[in-house]
Structure 1
Amino acid sequence: MDKTSQRRAPDGFLWGSAISAHQTEGNNVNSDVWLLENSVPTVFEEPSGDACDSYHRYLEDFDLAAGLGFNCHRIGIEWARIEPAQGQFSSAALDHYRRALEALHARGLQPIVTFNHFTTPRWFAMRGGFEVADAADLFARFCARVMASMGDLVTYALPFNEANIQRLFALARHFATSGEEVDQMLAAARRATGSPAFSSIMFAPVDLCEPVMVRAQRESYAAIKAERTDVPVGLSLTMQDIQGIGDNNPAELVIASLYGPWLEVGREMDFTGVQTYTRVLVSASGLQRPPAGSEMTGAGYEFCPEALKGTIRLAHERIGKPVFVTESGICTDDDSRRIAFIDRALAAVRECLDDGIDVRSYICWSLLDNFEWTRGYGERFGLVDVDYQTFARTTKPSAIHLAETVRSGMI
């Protein structure tokens, strides 16, 4: 990073890393995704299994985050553990997550709590997931129960992770598995459960799922506020930077396709969670591949940390609420490229701050190498390496590099 161009980070700026429950905890056996991973056929390269065993090793993980000088941590609360059967809430699971939030506070880490990070209880998926109208009420009930148990410890709340994820998959099929393979997997899950309505967030049709999720976002906002009016509740979006090329490009149509009603919903929330990994190029002839010779990440998309600048600005201009960067990161086995990515992403944040945009966090995805959904364990986004046999954690140079920036107080 060019230190001569740095500026002091705003007072109260949040530095941290993120995890999700299913991707790190392990053995989330009552979830819809656990069933899909183990279906025959499946689009998942491998099952999540023990993951990082973070359900038992969360104190070690929080120590790592605190040791890097972070002042916040984004954590997931797993619905399938808390409500493993409809209407049956586990006091033990609620106590577990309360202890986790207490441990974050004890280490000076403000909890940013995600109530749903793609996974749902199996019973919920079997009744049709978010394709069923009353699903919004059931999700809001879950959020209310969590807040009643540990709301005093929640500093920031995100009902959904990337509420518009189905729109990203519909827009850019190269980010997703083919429709036929998904259909076969879902059919297997329906046979296994005897439920013809089985539906899972990541693979649900946007036209059926989205209206219910919009209502669920609003109802969960109200449920969280009913317990604690002072907790900021945000909207997390996947916000890849849509860049138009040449005359008559349909960039605005692509933007509308990616966000649908969510920009309007965001104006009703307290902040926008921006989650950006790359850019999308679009010309008059449609979506374009990255320019010849572009550096590609281990996940197969273009290395473009500067995309964060475009998405922060779009959130600022079209939603108008404070911006929290709730995910920014790179899949790579070359940690020097992670260092470069972080530096250039932070430069993008700095430019937005210089322009007067209210940016309040930089949260790196992810604290740990973890289970990356259909790609399994082959993709590594972590600041910390995980040995999936011994569960040993090893801090990477990129983590130390980010920690030095945090401790400098500069961005």
Structure 2
Amino acid sequence: MEFVFPKPFIWGSATAAYQVEGNNANSDFWAEEHAEGSPYADKSGDAIDHYRLYREDIALMASLGLKAYRFSIEWARVEPAPGQFSMSAIAHYRDVLHACREFGLLPVVALHHFSSPQWLMRLGGWASPEVPELFARYCEVVFRELGELIPYVLTFNEVNLPTMLREIFSKIGIVPPVGIDAAAWSAPKWRESAARLCGTTPDRYVTFHMISDEFTIGLLKEAHRKARETIKRLSPETQVGFSMALSDIQSIAGGEALAEAKWQLVFGQFASMAKGDDFFGLQNYTREVYGPEGQRAPEEGAERTQMKYEYYPEALEQVVRKVAQTLPIPIFVTEHGVATDDDERRVEFIRRGLLGLQSCIKAGINVKGYLHWSTFDNFEWNSGYAMKFGLIAVDRTTQERKAKESARYLGRIAQNGGIDHTDLV
């Protein structure tokens, strides 16, 4: 055994409340699912019923050898109406945190993972000047009640995703197409329907996924700053950060300027948010290659995931190295995973990704931990239930869990503190 990972190193997996809990009917995504003409492939419904089965799920993670569990708190459950906070929801998340402690898992909490309360849309959503104060108020309640139980927290998950995926989102009507002013843009009918279900109009219906212009990005940065200040005031020992989704941006001859511009778009313009943070949450799944004509498709014959992007676990190492050149704070890999029905390919994805991470650590880069996405096969937003990211399979007719070999593989690594020599050949 080569123990190259530092001690303590955090080994675990991650979920998001909306994707696993089920029946988050007060969230904006619920309205999107149920809108007339919605592009969502499935409705989340009970999801994998994690809101009820969390204790058994946490016990299963621990039995597999995992050491940490990253989960999110659903804002719409905690604050179902503006200024009205649910003590029963707080009690639920308190018990989730206690269950983590009971079974020996370090909890890592995300305060926002894409979904927002429907009532926020009636105030203008993420374009409302009130949003930084409203989000900080929610954080204050959570940390006043639960702060001593939360050692690590992400204020936001993937702050750059709307910018990163703007072209894709424009195709399904989440954001206006590039070059179209938002004020002049007519939302598709399903967005009008979703807005009505939230009790508002399309011009005020600005979800987290529409944060992609200077004004809304500015509000997001302020919301993070206010949230961090609130958390540190109430729970000074809690380590605070946020996460970004970052592909490995590469170039071939003639594509260097385009690649540099893309890196600035998805990383550079957000990097200042991390000033004053305790760590940076890095999330990686693949690479993007740019040539003189723009982004190139993967080479013919290249392996692709269920999400249609390139299977390329080596991207993790390269992105960690790039981020470390800019940010002086510890890096925490808060998501890394692959959508595939072939679990052997997931094991290989983990192995090769961790070998790259090991190389970063040997080079002196401060990496705090590795959390795999996802703990379970779950609701993958507009893709529904077809995408298989999980270490653990779920039969949604019975809600029976079945650990895959990838779960046991990562669990062994977590128990041993590194990659066995047999995995290095």
Q: TM-score, normalised by structure 1?
A: 0.95
Q: Following the alignment from structure 1 to structure 2, what is the Cα–Cα distance between the partners of residues 134 and 360?
A: 34
Q: 1:267 & 1:284 partners in 2: Cα distance?
A: 34
Correspondent of 1:227 among 226, 230, 234: 234
- Which amino acid in the other structure matches residue 380 of structure 2? E
Distance 2:109 2:174 in 1: 33
1:254-403 aligned within 5 A: 254-403=262-411
Distance in 2, Cα, partners of 1:122 & 1:181: 16
Choose the corresponding residue for 2:171, options 173, 178, 181: 178
Shift in alpha-carbon separation, 1:373–1:248, aligned structure 2, 3 A: closer
Q: Work out the CA distance in 2 between the residues paired with 1:235 and 1:317.
A: 18
Q: Is 2:39 the counterpart of 1:34? A: no
Structure 1: distance between partners of 2:351 and 2:69: 20
Residues 1:139 and 2:140 aligned together: no
Amino acid at match of 1:88: Q
CA deviations 1:343-383 (Å, max 9, x no partner) are: 00101101101111001101000111100001000001000
CA contact (8 A) 1:118 1:161 kept: yes
Task: Report the Cα distance in structure 2 between the residues aligned to 1:150 and 1:200, rounded to whole angstroms.
Answer: 27
Q: Quote how far apart the aligned CAs of 1:342 are.
A: 0.5
Partners of 2:408 and 2:291 in 1: CA distance:
40
State whether residues 159 and 217 of structure 1, in contact with CA within 8 Å, keep that contact through their aligned partners in structure 2: yes
User: After superposition, what is the alpha-carbon deviation per residue over 1:209-262, rounded to whole angstroms, capped at 9, x for unaligned?
Assistant: 211111001110001101111111012111111012114522211101112531
8 Å CA contact 1:82, 1:89 repeated in 2: yes
Q: Which residue of 2 aligns with 1:150?
A: 146
User: Structure 1: where are the runs of 5+ without partners?
Assistant: none
Q: Which residue of 2 aligns with 1:116?
A: 112
Once the two structures are TM-superposed, the CA of residue 205 in structure 1 deviates from its matched residue by 4.2
Q: 2:418 aligns to what SS in structure 1?
A: coil
Cα offsets for 1:101-131 (capped at 9, x unmatched): 0110111111110000000110012221111
- Tell me the residue number matched to 1:189: 194
Report SS of the residue matched to 2:310: coil
3-state SS of paired residue (2:80): coil
Of 195, 198, 202, 2:209 maps to 202
Query: Which segment drifts farther, 176-185 or 36-45?
Result: 176-185
Name the SS of the counterpart of 1:116 in structure 2: coil
Residue 300 of structure 1 deviates from its aligned partner by: 0.7
Asked if residue 88 in structure 1 is aligned to residue 84 in structure 2, the reply is yes
Within 2, Cα distance between the matches of 1:37 and 1:181?
A: 13
Distance 1:257 1:385 in 2: 36
Separation (CA, whole Å) in 1 of partners of 2:70 and 2:306: 24
Q: Which residue of 1 aligns with 2:184?
A: none
AA of the residue aligned to 1:79: W
Give the whole-Å Cα distance in 1 for the aligned partners of 2:200 and 2:418.
54
Match of 2:418 in 1: 410
Counterpart residue number, 1:239: 246
Q: 1:298 to 1:227 in 2, by over 3 A?
A: same
Following the alignment from structure 2 to structure 1, what is the Cα–Cα distance between the partners of residues 233 and 214? 30
Provide closer, same or farther for how the CA distance between residues 119 and 321 of structure 1 changes in structure 2, counting only shifts above 3 A.
same
Paired with 1:232 and 1:218, the residues of 2 have a C-alpha distance of: 14
| Among 7, 10, 15, the residue aligned to 1:14 | 10
Q: CA RMSD in A?
A: 1.5
Deviation of 1:97 (Å)? 0.4
Map of 1:71 onto structure 2: 67
Provide runs of 4+ in structure 1 moved above 4 Å.
Answer: 179-182
Letter in 2 for 1:277: Y
**Are the structure 2 counterparts of residues 409 and 194 from structure 1 closer, same or farther at C-alpha, using a change threshold of 3 Å?**
closer
In structure 2, distance between residues paired with 1:306 and 1:193 = 42
CA contact (8 A) 1:166 1:206 kept: no
Cα distance per residue 1:293-342 (max 9 Å; x no partner): 11000111000001001111122111121010000110000111001101
TM-score by length of 2: 0.92
After TM superposition, give the deviation of residue 35 of structure 1 in Å. 0.8
Report the secondary structure of 2:389's partner residue.
coil
Partner-residue secondary structure (3-state), 1:363: strand
CA distance in 2, matches of 1:360, 1:181: 34
Higher mean alpha-carbon deviation, 119-128 vs 50-59, is at 119-128
Structure 1 residue 408: deviation in Å?
Answer: 2.0
Opposite residue 89 of structure 2, the aligned amino acid is A
Contact 2:255 2:290 (8 Å CA) reproduced: no
Equivalent pair of 1:43/1:181 in contact (CA under 8 Å): no
1:165-208 Cα distance to aligned partner (Å, 9 max, x none): 111112xx35x461547632222122334412122112444334
Separation in structure 2 between the aligned mates of residue 233 and residue 28 of structure 1, nearest angstrom: 26
Letter in 1 for 2:208: I
Q: 1:190 & 1:233 partners in 2: Cα distance? A: 33
Deviation at 1:409, TM superposition (A): 1.9
